[in-house]
């Protein structure tokens, strides 16, 4: 049984995340997702919309995911690899060459998969803000029109 491990915040969950998880699972038989806790997100400088518990439930509902464990710090990866007998650690290409992952080559195979272009949480949030602004403008009565 080939065991695959990946890390992330996975918030707001989108198709880029799903594609990453699908391709990670295709590299083995069992996929473990180490999900950043809310506390660790603060350390990463990220603020997730959904809580850890909600993000965990959403990931557990994805057919490619076999186990979700907490990611609480940068230093736990070697222990994770040993404890869960990981054969391959997989990350998206934005982590390629990162010193936060390259040292794992001494403990397991390390594979970076291309990111899914055209989608990101930042883009989703910006698009929603823009939509709100447009909707807000539409509420403003035309000059000279009767107040409704």
**Could you list the active site residues?**
44, 46
Residue of 60, 94, 102, 132 interacting with ligand C2G (CB under 6 A): 94
- Report the distance separating Cα 148 and Cα 141, nearest Å: 8
* Minimum CB distance to ligand C2G, residue 57 (Å): 16
Burial string for 76-86 (b: 16+ CB within 10 Å, else e) reads bbeebbeebeb
Q: Are 36 and 8 in contact (CB under 8 A)?
A: yes
* Minimum CB distance to ligand C2G, residue 32 (Å): 13
Residue of 36, 62, 89, 104 interacting with ligand C2G (CB under 6 A): 36
Q: Are 90 and 6 in contact (CB under 8 A)?
A: yes
Residue 96 is a binding residue for ligand C2G (CB under 6 A): no
Residue of 59, 71, 86, 89 interacting with ligand C2G (CB under 6 A): 71
- Report the distance separating Cα 4 and Cα 98, nearest Å: 19
List of residues contacting ligand C2G (CB under 6 A)? 7-10, 16-17, 20, 36, 46, 71, 91-92, 94, 115-116, 119-120
């Amino acid at each position: 049984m080939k065991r695959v491990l990946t890390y992330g915040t996975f918030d707001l969950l989108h198709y880029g995340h799903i594609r990453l998880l699908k391709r990670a699972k295709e590299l083995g038989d069992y996929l473990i997702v180490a999900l950043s806790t809310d506390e660790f997100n603060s350390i990463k400088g990220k603020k997730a919309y959904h809580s850890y518990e909600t993000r965990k439930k959403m990931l557990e509902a994805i057919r490619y995911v076999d186990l979700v464990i907490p990611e609480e710090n940068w230093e736990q990866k070697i222990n994770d690899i040993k404890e869960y007998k990981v054969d391959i650690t997989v990350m998206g290409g934005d982590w390629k060459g990162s010193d936060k992952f390259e040292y794992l080559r001494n403990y397991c195979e390390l594979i970076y998969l291309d990111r899914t272009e055209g989608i990101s949480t930042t883009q989703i949030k910006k698009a929603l803000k823009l939509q709100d602004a447009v909707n807000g403008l539409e509420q403003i009565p035309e000059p000279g029109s009767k107040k409704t």
